[in-house]
Chain A
Amino acid sequence: MRAAHLVENSGERERRVDLSPTVEGGWCGRFFAMGSPCEVLVECTSGSEAFDLVGLAATEAWRIEDKYSRYLGGNIVARINSAAGEPVEVDEETSRLLGFAATLHSLSGGRFDITSGALRRVWRFDTGSLVPAHDRVRAVLSLVGWHRATWQPPVLVIPAGMEIDLGGIGKEYAVDRAVACLRDVSEYACLVNFGGDLAVTRVPQRRKAWHVGIESLRGVRQSPEKLIRLEAGALATSGDTRRFVLSEGQRFGHILDPRTGWPVRGAPASVTVAADSCIQAGTLCTLAMLEGDGAEHFLRRHAGKFWVTREES
């Protein structure tokens, strides 16, 4: 690490960007945002220019985190979730996000649902957790469902006890926003990677493509990491399969179907999708995971390039 510059201090976790040169002759800026390690690669020779660009991306990431994180109080999400049935008027950006979520809800037949956060109250995916009883799930299910919300832009009404969570699309949205910001101010080729969801501004001059490695899950077979050459567009990966519940030898994955309140059966271990924007890639990932056994079939119909890995026994 060559240079570490303090950008801002927001209390809980120090927000700073660490810049270091890459072996390709460019720069890599690292910071932490939205619960993930983030990095921005910039293909330029000047360290100070690279730092400014990374700072731009980081600032946008932290802005979105502050505005939409459910862990921080006082933001629009906290206001909506504590409105107790009262209407809330939202700003233009939030309106666009809610509109997107609404479209996705109908597009996916109800599988994609930003009000499914309440299920977290009964499903805890730490190791050693128990499968909740059926009536507990049924009880909390009455607090889940976008169809119970009234969305008349720019006013949102959700029943008391329900809550929204934009964590499912927040990171991908931030990647696309950061890429747009960078593209507005600079001609340099940049790659924005927030915890595995990434997009590029343009194709790099030197190597003709960004090389992204998807960690191979082929066990100990010594087969090399899958390398993707990305010239334009975005990649998103879903499947943080760290979390599951084991009950009577059956593993319940952590992808919950909001229509039933139960985990999706047969969800793949991980899905990676390439698409024009990170939001599109991330959405296709999530929808594929929600298809469980039918993930590959879904992706073959609706996505371009994709890679699915399944756990084997």
Chain B
Amino acid sequence: MNERMLRAASALVLAAALDGCAGLGVAAWDRDVLARDDMQLTPDPVEAALDEHIYFSKEASSGGRGFGGGGCGCN
């Protein structure tokens, strides 16, 4: 997959997702499960940041989930 394809694919995914999103979901009073601590998308932000730092130092990819707090001169 080259870059142009990725850009197009992303735009399509997001557009389709947003269009399909209207009407999808639950009513406010059914959000009890989603409000749980362990249902947060990043339940442990410190751990996520530590892992991101490790993998940023050892691999060529980084981020995706959001972005980290900073770079480093990691070896």
Contacts and interface: CB of A to CB of B under 8 A. Distances in A.
A242 interface: yes
Nearest to A310: B28
B6 interface: no
B67 interface: no
A216 B28 contact: no
A222 B32 contact: no
Contacts of B40: 222
Contact of A225 (B28, B29, B35, B42): B35
B28 A311 contact: yes
Contacts of B27: 241
A241 B29 CA distance: 7
Contact of A242 (B29, B35, B42): B29
B29 A222 contact: no
Contact of A241 (B28, B35, B42): B28
Contacts of A269: 28-29
A162 to B, nearest CB: 31
Interface residues of A, number: 13
A23 interface: no
B29 A220 contact: no
B31 interface: yes
A219 B41 contact: no
Contacts of A217: 28, 31
Interface in B29-75: 29, 31-32, 34-35, 40-42
A217 B34 CA distance: 10
Contacts of A242: 29
Contacts of B35: 215-216, 225
A96 B42 CA distance: 52
A222 B28 contact: no
Contact of B32 (A215, A219, A311): A215
Interface of A: 215-217, 219-220, 222, 225, 240-242, 269, 309, 311
Interface of B: 27-29, 31-32, 34-35, 40-42
18 contacts: A215-B32, A215-B35, A216-B35, A217-B28, A217-B31, A219-B31, A220-B34, A222-B40, A222-B41, A222-B42, A225-B35, A240-B29, A241-B27, A241-B29, A242-B29, A269-B28, A269-B29, A311-B28
Given A216-B35, A241-B27, 16 more contacts: A215-B31, A215-B32, A215-B35, A217-B28, A217-B31, A219-B31, A220-B34, A222-B40, A222-B41, A222-B42, A225-B35, A240-B29, A241-B28, A269-B28, A269-B29, A311-B28
